[in-house]
Amino acid sequence: MDYPSKFIEEAVTQISKLPGIGKKTALRLALHIIKDKQENTFALTNAINTLCENIQFCKHCHNISDSEVCMICTSHKRDRSVLCVVEDTQDVMAIENTSQFNGLYHVLGGVISPMNGIGPADLKIDSLVNRLNHGQSEIKEIILAISPTMEGDTTAFYINKRIKDIPMKVSVIARGIPVGGDLEYADEITLGRSITGRTLFN
Amino acid sequence: MDYPSKFIEEAVTQISKLPGIGKKTALRLALHIIKDKQENTFALTNAINTLCENIQFCKHCHNISDSEVCMICTSHKRDRSVLCVVEDTQDVMAIENTSQFNGLYHVLGGVISPMNGIGPADLKIDSLVNRLNHGQSEIKEIILAISPTMEGDTTAFYINKRIKDIPMKVSVIARGIPVGGDLEYADEITLGRSITGRTLFN
């Protein structure tokens, strides 16, 4: 496509490199930026630059953070005996939103996926093992809250194997019928798991 | 939603102000920016800032441009006797892509829409009338290539009324069944128009 301006062309090229944004959406955004007030655009680009320059990763849980140690790891209100292992930051935010978990987190930064060239060494698994092995560790239980996909299950098995010699309770989040979901439309594996993993009524 | 970092929160707030981007997409983009190389992010924000600071509007056709007069208006290869009136820059790009038009353009910057508080004075209609009235104007035909919506038709009627005293051919783009479209699924108005506006076979 021919653009009427090289500035538009460069902006569209850069914006369309973002995930899930194609050339058409990028053009729509670029034309919005032209119409918008300059101060709004500078607020946007400043926020992105500031994010990119100042963001840190917590040295304990590897979640994104404004400081060397994140707010959850420094909080005195959190239960330090339970550790929830998740794939990425979005999962931490999703679990925090449920208000059902008050322990600490460990962010792996992905799952083992040989197809995409991601092995155990690319994830924060060694760091997790060190954290559990650490002499003063108060952790008594770890919860593997990893998506029940093939890659996620592989990762969970691998972590379980790596930590099997450390005396500790290891649990996984329940698989079953989503609340509000219809039994009829559930797939066989999920329905089977919901029966084998049944809990007592009350 | 609670964000683990105030930098993330500010970036999500700013990104989600863009049209068609909600908080979830903005968060996904912000997390991508964190993972991406700094140089890529700076290339993105630079391109946006440069666009916002340097873009101009052609003083003749009001299309976006890198200079005072756009490439189409300065080109010697274009037919200066035909003027195509369109709503916005995307329409110019769409028509240019067809390679079926070699005249000049006039970008209105929108359509008359009383519901959104847009009247004729907010569009480049006076500028169009001046352009046609200009003593040295070579324009012999104007094509109204405005979307056949209620607002678009209103705008076309209004323009036609304003220029009715200027001796000039005024045409509108054909309404009919899209190429590859199925007659059975066309709406009644379009099908009706395709019959009244029929053309000779060959």
Q: What residue has token string 């607020």?
A: A43
Look at residue B196 and tell me whether its pLDDT is greater than 80: yes
* Fold type of domain A78-196: Dna Topoisomerase Vi A Subunit; Chain: A, domain 2 (3.40.1360)
Which single residue is written with the structure tokens 């709406």? B187
Q: What is the DSSP letter of B177?
A: P
B6 near A CB under 8 A = yes
Q: Chain A 61-80, CB below 8 Å of chain B: which residues?
A: 63-66, 70-72
Render pLDDT for B56-96 as a digit per residue (tens, 0 to 9).
Answer: 999 999 999 999 999 999 999 999 999 999 999 999 999 99
pLDDT of residue A30: 94
Q: How far is the C-alpha of A111 from the C-alpha of A87, rounded, in Å?
A: 6
According to DSSP H, which parts of chain A are helical? Answer: 6-15, 23-35, 38-54, 71-74, 89-98, 125-133, 150-162, 188-196
**Class of CATH domain B77-196:** alpha beta
Residues of B in contact with A65 (CB under 8 A): 4-5
CATH of domain B6-54: 1.10.8.420
Q: Taking CA B77 as the corner, what is the angle to CA B74 and CA B79, rounded to the nearest 5 degrees?
A: 90
Q: What are the residue ranges spanned by the domains of chain A? A: 6-54, 78-196
Collect the ranges in chain A with pLDDT lower than 70. 1, 135, 202
Q: Is residue B1 predicted with pLDDT exceeding 80?
A: no
Which 8-state DSSP code applies to residue A118? B
Identify the residue among A10, A24, A53, A64 best suited for mutation to test binding to B, counting B beta carbons within 10 A and taking the highest: A64
Select from A42, A51, A71 the Cβ nearest to the Cβ of B33: A51
The fraction of chain B above a pLDDT of 90, given in percent, is 71
Question: How far is B65 from chain A, CA to nearest CA, in Å?
Answer: 5
